[in-house]
Structure 1
Amino acid sequence: MAVNVPGLVVVVIFYIIILFIGIWASRKSKKAEKTCAGTKSEVTIVGGRNISVLVGVFTTTATWVGGGYILGNAEVVYSPKQGLIWAIGPPAFAINLILGGLFFAKPMRSKCYLTMLDPFQHRYGNMFTATLLLPALVSDILWVACILAALGGTMSIILGLSSAVSIIISAAVSIFYTFLGGLYSVAYTDVIQFFFMFFSLFLCIPFVVLSPAVADISVHLNQSNVNSWVGELKLADAGKWADEMLLLALGGLAYQALYQRILSAASSAQAQITCLAAAGVVFIMGIPSVVIGAMASIADWNQTAYGLPPPFERGEAGKILPLALQYLTPTWLSVLGIGSVAAAVMSSVDSILLSSASMFTQNIYKTTLRKQASERELQWVIRVAILLVGLAGMGLAFKGESVFALWLLSTDLLYCIILPQLICVLHLICANSYGAICGYIVGLLLRLLSGDSILGIPPVLLFPGWREEDGVITQYFPYRTLVMLCSLICIITVSKMVEVGFHQQLIPQSWDLLRVFKKKKENQGEEVPLPQGEENTTLSARL
Structure 2
Amino acid sequence: MSTATLVTFIVYLAAMLAIGLWFYRMTSNLSDYILGGRSLGPGVAALSAGASDMSGWLLLGLPGAAYAAGLNSIWICIGLSLGAYLNWQFVAKRLRTYTEVAKNSLTIPDYLENRFRDDSKLIRIISAFVILLFFTFYTSSGMVAGGKLFENSFGLDYTAALWIGAIVIISYTFLGGFLAVSWTDFFQGLLMFAALLIVPIAAIVELGGFGVVVEKVASVNPEALDVFAGMTAMGIISSMAWGLGYFGQPHIITRFMALKSKKDVPTARLIGMVWMIFGLLGAVFTGFAGIAYFADKPLADAETVFMDFTQVLFQPWVAGILLAAILSAIMSTIDSQLLVSSSAIAEDFYKAIFRKNASEKELVWVGRISVVVIALIAIVLASNPDSSVLDLVSYAWGGFGAAFGPVIILSLFWKRMNRWGALAGLVSGSATVVIWKQLEGGLYDLYEIVPGFIVCTLAIIIFSLLTEAPSEEIQEEFEKAKA
TM-score of the two chains, using structure 2 as the length reference: 0.87
Q: In structure 1, give the amino acid aligned to 2:284.
A: V
> Is 1:432 aligned to residue 421 of structure 2?
no
Q: Sequence identity of aligned pairs in percent?
A: 23
Decide whether aligned partners of structure 1 residues 443 and 352 sit closer, same or farther in structure 2, where only a CA change above 3 A counts.
closer
Q: Which deviates more from structure 2 when the two are superposed, residues 219-228 or residues 191-200?
A: 219-228
Which one scores higher on RCO, CA 8 angstroms, separation ≥ 6? 2
1:493 paired with 2:462, answer: yes
Do the aligned residues in 2 keep the contact of 1:255 with 1:414 (CA within 8 Å)? yes
* 1:135 and 2:130 matched: yes
Matches within 5 A, 1:416-431: 416-431=402-417
Distance in 1 between the 2:35 and 2:294 partners?
Answer: 49
Contact 1:65 1:285 in 2 (8 A): no
Distance in 2 separating the partners of 1:380 and 1:399: 31
Which of the residues 290, 302, 307 maps onto 1:317?
302
* C-alpha contact 1:140 1:410 (8 A) present in aligned 2: yes
Letter in 2 for 1:102: Q
Asked if residue 209 in structure 1 is aligned to residue 204 in structure 2, the reply is: yes
Inter-partner Cα distance in structure 2 for 1:165 and 1:114: 36
Q: Give the distance between the partners of 1:523 and 1:426, measured in 2 at CA.
A: 12
Partner residue of 2:21? 23
Residues in 1 aligned to 2:473 and 2:422: alpha-carbon distance in whole angstroms: 22
CA offset digits 1:118-170 (Å, max 9, x no partner) = 23212134123211222222222222221221222122222222332232122
Of the three residues 64, 69, 91, the one matched with 1:75 is: 64
One-letter code aligned to 1:121: E
Does 1:383 pair with 2:368? yes
Q: Contact conserved, 1:74 with 1:289, CA < 8 A, in 2?
A: yes
Q: 1:260 aligns with which of 238, 248, 254?
A: 254
Structure 1 residues 490 and 220, CA gap change in structure 2 (3 angstroms): same
- Residue 250 of structure 1 is matched in structure 2 by 244
Give the 5 Å matches for 1:470-489. Answer: 475-477=444-446, 479-489=448-458
What residue in structure 1 maps to residue 274 of structure 2? 280
Alpha-carbon offset, residue 12 of structure 1? 1.4
Q: Aligned-pair distance for 1:67?
A: 0.8
TM-score (norm 1): 0.78
Cα separation, 2, equivalents of 1:282 and 1:383: 31
1:182-217 alpha-carbon deviations (Å, 9 max, x no partner): 112112222322233233443323332233699962
What pairs with 1:299-378 in structure 2 (closer than 5 Å)?
299-302=293-296, 307=297, 310-311=298-299, 314=300, 316-378=301-363
Distance apart, 1:293 and its partner CA: 0.3
Q: C-alpha deviations, 1:339-383, integer Å up to 9, x for none?
A: 110122112221111111122222222222211111111111111
> How large is the RMSD of aligned CA atoms in angstroms?
2.9
**Aligned residue identity for 1:339:** A
Based on CA coordinates, which of the two structures has the bigger radius of gyration?
1
Contact 2:34 2:106 in 1 (8 A): yes
Q: Is the 8 A contact 1:435 1:492 kept in 2?
A: yes
DSSP 3-state at the match of 2:155: coil
* Residue pairs, 1:39-50, within 5 angstroms: 40-50=29-39
Deviation at 1:41, TM superposition (A): 0.8
Greater fraction helix: 2
Partner of 1:295: 289
CA-CA distance at 1:386 after TM superposition: 1.3
Structure 1 residues 439, 219: closer, same or farther in 2, change over 3 A? closer
**Post-superposition offset of 1:88:** 4.1
Letter in 2 for 1:289: A
Q: 5+ residue gaps in structure 2?
A: 476-483
After superposing the two structures, state which structure 1 stretch, 483-492 or 194-203, moved more. 194-203
Q: CA deviation at 1:415?
A: 1.9
Alignment CA distance shift 1:274-1:172 (3 Å): same
Matching of residue 146 in structure 1 with residue 172 in structure 2: no
CA distance in 2, matches of 1:404, 1:252: 16
